[in-house]
Each structure stands twice: as C-alpha cells, then as structure tokens.
Chains A and B, each alone.
Chain A
Amino acid sequence: MNNLTSRTCCRIALLCVAFAASGEQLDLLTSYDVQLIVEAVPEVVAAQANGKCPGFSITRWGDDKLWVQARGRCFDGSSQSTLINNYVVDRRNGVVFLGEGETPLRSESLHRRQSEVIAAARRRVLSNEEARCLAKKAMESLARVRETGDSFELQMTVSANEEKAVFSGVHRLPSVRVTTSTTVTVDKRTGEVVENATGASFLSDEFSLLAARVLAQRVPVILTTDDAVEIARVHPAFAGYRSLKCTEIAASTLEVLAERRFVGLVGHCAGDPAHPDISVSVDLRTGRVLDERNQRELTSPESAAVASRLLAVLHSRRRNIQKLIESACAAEHK
C-alpha cells in the first residue's frame, strides 16, 4: 500500500470512527437531502425561474431540524434585502415549515421531492448482508488468536428488523481443538457494531476501514467545491483574470445549492477595485458550467475536459470502493 492510499485509508477510518461515535443515523436527512427538498419549495423554484439565483445557508435548529435560509444571489434592485425565506426542515420526515411556523408547507412537487429524498435516505440503512459482513469483520478483529484453517461461522440469531441485526458467531481453531463464541449487534441505521457481552463498539483498524467504505458508498457521487473551481477556472469566462489587479476566483460553501457551487471573481484588496462581474454555477453531478441567472449551459470544451477527468476519477474511486467491499464480504458467503 503506498503512502497516499494509506493516508486515505486512515482518513476514511477516522471518519468512520467519528461517524460511529456520533451515532448519526444513516436514514436521518443530511444537509444535502434537506437542500434538495427546499429547492422544490414553490417560491424557491419561482426565484430560480425569475433569475434571483437562490442560495442556501444552513444551520442546526435543535437536535433534529435544520434552519435553511434562502437568499437571492443576484441583486435585481427590486428589494434591498434579497431574502427569499427561512425554512425549518425536520430531518426525520422532510417536513418543511416557514421558520418557527406550525403549518407545514405543501405542494405536489414538494411532496414528490420529499418522498424521493426520504426513500433515498431509507436506502442508506445497511442491508442484512452488509450487516453480516460488518459483524464478521468485527468478530475477526476481536479474535486475538488466528491460525491457518480457523473459521468463523455466523448466524443471525433473530430475524433482523429495520434497525438492528443480532449475530451469533463461532470461531473454531481445529488444530488446537478450541471453539469460542460471541454475539454482536449491528445497528443498521448507524453502522455501529457492538459486542453484546461488553456493550462496547468495535473500532479496530480493519473493521473501521470496511465500515468506512460501506458508509462511503452512501455519500452522493458529486464533485467537490474545489472540483467546481477547477472546472470553472479554465472556462473562457474567466480568461485573463490573473492579469487583473486585486482579482481572484472564489467559491464558498457559505451559500450553496445541493448540487451547485457558485464560482465568481472577487476583489481582494482594500477598496474593492472594480472587476468584471462574473459568476457561474457548476453542476456537481455533471460538471456543466451554467449561467447563474438563467441556468443555461455555458459550453466550453476546456471545462468539459476537466469535468470529464474529475468525474472519471470520482466514479472510478466509487467503483474501487465497491469492489473492495465485495471482496471483503464475498469471503463471508463462501
């Protein structure tokens, strides 16, 4: 394993540990999910259609809700504040309220989007096969004594429900005629595996790496903000920006849409000297560069080439992770 891969693995393992420790449920709606829902709120749809360029700023609201502020990014002189509205979204069911209002927002398209997002969130819960695979890896990592020819046998002790699966495992060491058994519970909604006898979570390197990979497959396959800048930077719209004094390309996650990042030119010297008012949005799923106001594609072979390369890396990484998971879990089925 080279250094880079090793570092990446460590990072993934650490992420997993943090994830498991936080106990965050896989089927609880994420900021990304919540943005997808708010994007379907009729007045946000209208703001997009009217060229107001909505962007979201998201903060927590209590333990299981998010506060989403939608503000227009394109100032059109019709108002001095560009606020579209504030929405509180329940992460357990996707219901949207106006701030602390008590009446849920309803519309056909919003309902459709809520259903889609919730269905996708439910699919993040571990399958019984994934739970079994994690349980086996956990038991293997618990066994201090290993030898050639030893075996682990797992049985699901009770029928799994949508939250938990309990496995009884037997470890046989035939050469010394030793058999040990243990029982573990997999929380399918968090990926946490607990040894029933101690109540302790498994956190070995090997187990955590597999768990991290399983969880990583649940993350949407989209480009990052840095990727978006890479794609926009070579677009002819930004040609020559380096020769402009006090001007740089900037993108921030302070204001986003679920699958869009806004990339623009900003001044960075005192006095904010005039610079071309250029801003585009980059579609994180396709890498297309769009006009922020009207969402029309700003075609550029240079940007398309960078997008294609970055997306290829992204998809290849995802396929590799899938193969690693399949390889780790395939032994289980033998």
Chain B
Amino acid sequence: MTTAFNKVQADAQGPPLIYNPPPAPAPPQPPTWFFSWMPQRPNGLSSIREIVTNYPECNKADSRAIDKKLDFIVKYYSDAQWVATNVRNELTQRGVSFSNTQGLATMFLQWGAWESGWMESGSRSAVQNNFFGAQRGAPGSVPCPSSVGRTTNSCFPLAMGFAQQLSAVLSMVPRTRANPNTSNLSYLAQLENMLASDTGASATTLLQGIASFGWNSVDPQYGTTVTAGIRLSTELNCMKNNGYISK
C-alpha cells in the first residue's frame, strides 16, 4: 500500500520530493471589540513598551512568551492536524477506529516545539529549518550552508515545512544500538501500532514510544519531559474559540 509517508520516504531516496502542502491556516479574524481592548502590562516592568500580542483574547497579559506559543500554533497547527488526519486515515484502513486527531495534532505540535525550541527566529533550529532535530541524511534534507558551522544536524530547504518534515521524520526507519529494528519498522508504523493497541494512548506514552524506538533512546523520561515542558492546551482552546485556528 502506498501512503503519503511511504511516498516521502521513496522520493527522498531518489527523485525530488513531491509534496502536497496542507491547507493554509485561516487568517486570524479579530473580533469587533478588538480596538477597545487594552492589555494589562506585566507587573514589575519599569519601562513602557509597545503592545506585542497579535492575539489579545488569548494573551491578556501581553506576554512575549505566550505570544511566541500563539504564533507557533497559528503557523503549524493545521500542518500538525493534516498529518494527524493522515494517521487516522491509515488506521481506518487497518480497521482501527481512531478519532482523536486533535490530541494527536497537539502532540505533534509539542514535539516540534520541543525539538526546535519553538523554531525561534535566529536559533540553530530556525537557521537549519529543522523542526524535529533530525540528523544528517534525513529524507528531504540538503547540505547545510557553511555559515552554520560544522554540525551533525540536518538542514532542510525553506520550502519544506512542518508537515513535510514531520512526514519525513515519521517515515524514517531507526537503527540504534538500543533498537536494531530488524523488522524495518518506521516511526509511523510504530506510532500506528501503539494507537492500534490503545486508541486512547496519551501523548506522553506515544512520544515516549517514539523516543524509545530510536528518536531519543537514551531518555526514559522523554515523553513526560516534552508534555510537561511544552504546554499548549490553554492556548489551543483559546485560539480555537476565537477563530484563529480551525476547530
């Protein structure tokens, strides 16, 4: 069976990567009372500054950190959802009924935010356009420019976004000391197997499964650390309720 993920993997080994981008996120629609809104300045600041938030309903304290999270959600949630929907469709083909695509999309967002450090402009991940910390030779990657210095990380072309990289990473077949993976299972197959055996598996469990399978074989706390270290639920709900992203 040819799937979107198999295609990414096959293309990466030979012909150029062909990618159907997910639908672009809906542009933010500020409510009508937007201009009458005035955020509270954080306590303890001695100097004034411009209001930074683009999402006043979801960032009432006008925090730069919260805004960074909201930006990340707006930019990549639909990508994460697109991949989650693909996973659901493949599970359906296997006869598994899985409906929590929103939970899976949230997990993908958390994973990308954690591995890329929120893909903050000017960071190592942003310069390498590397969302998931993939190492040299990852499908779709290109040689890094010398300006990034010597690195073992992959660099991806700018045209390769969150969904495409996530698909590429999931299509990879790990071979680590802890997991020689003689059955040649991809991360995607491992993820689907976990969901097939427990459709209610938590993000912590799924991320730990991916980590132990090879993505981070040395950290037995990876799943817990990622889900505790990247908190998105409040912001995601607010952004959905205010129409910044689709429900």
Contacts and interface: CB of A to CB of B under 8 A. Distances in A.
A79 B216 CA distance: 5
A268 interface: yes
Chain A interface size, as a band, is 35 or more
A100 B217 contact: no
A266 B124 CA distance: 16
B230 to A, nearest CB: 6
A85 B136 CA distance: 19
Interface in B84-119: 114-115, 117-118
B151 A255 contact: yes
Contact of B125 (A63, A69, A75): A69
B229 A100 contact: yes
Given A80-B174, A250-B146, A23 B46 contact: yes
22 contacts: A23-B47, A57-B123, A59-B122, A61-B64, A62-B64, A62-B66, A63-B63, A79-B176, A79-B217, A80-B134, A81-B132, A81-B134, A82-B135, A82-B152, A86-B114, A98-B228, A250-B147, A254-B127, A254-B148, A264-B149, A265-B150, A268-B146
Contact of B218 (A79, A255, A263, A266): A79
A250 B229 contact: no
Contact of A63 (B42, B214, B217, B219): B42
A67 interface: yes
Interface of B: 42, 45-47, 63-66, 68, 114-115, 117-118, 120, 122-125, 127, 132-136, 143-153, 172, 174, 176-178, 214-219, 225-226, 228-231
A75 B150 contact: no
Nearest to A268: B146
A181 B229 CA distance: 56
A267 B150 CA distance: 9
A266 to B, nearest CB: 5
B65 A61 contact: yes
B135 A254 contact: no
Interface string A240-276: 0000000010111011000000111111101110000
Contact of A98 (B135, B178, B225): B225
A119 to B, nearest CB: 22
Nearest to A265: B150
Contact of A73 (B46, B143, B152): B152
Contact of B115 (A81, A250, A265): A81
A156 B144 CA distance: 58
B150 A262 contact: yes
Interface of A: 23, 57-63, 65, 67, 69, 71, 73-75, 77-83, 85-86, 98-101, 248, 250-252, 254-255, 262-268, 270-272, 279
A78 B176 CA distance: 5
Given A62-B65, A63-B45, A67-B118, A86 B229 contact: yes
A284 to B, nearest CB: 15
B146 A67 contact: no
A262 B177 contact: no
A86 B219 CA distance: 13
B150 A264 contact: yes
B57 to A, nearest CB: 19
Given A80-B172, A86-B229, A98-B228, A74 B217 contact: no
Contact of A254 (B123, B152, B174, B217): B123
Given A71-B124, A252-B147, A61 B228 contact: no
Contacts of A78: 176-178, 217-218
Nearest to A67: B117
Given A60-B64, A73-B151, A99-B225, A81 B215 contact: yes
Nearest to B144: A266
A271 B229 CA distance: 37
Contact of B120 (A67, A73, A262, A272): A67
A89 to B, nearest CB: 13
Identify which of B127, B135, B149, B216 gathers the most chain A CB atoms within 10 Å of its CB: B149
Nearest to A100: B231
Given A60-B64, A99-B114, A271 B135 contact: no
A83 B217 CA distance: 11
A82 B214 CA distance: 11
Contacts of A250: 146-150
Contacts of B114: 83, 86, 99
A272 B143 CA distance: 6
Contacts of B45: 63
Nearest to A190: B46
A255 B124 contact: yes
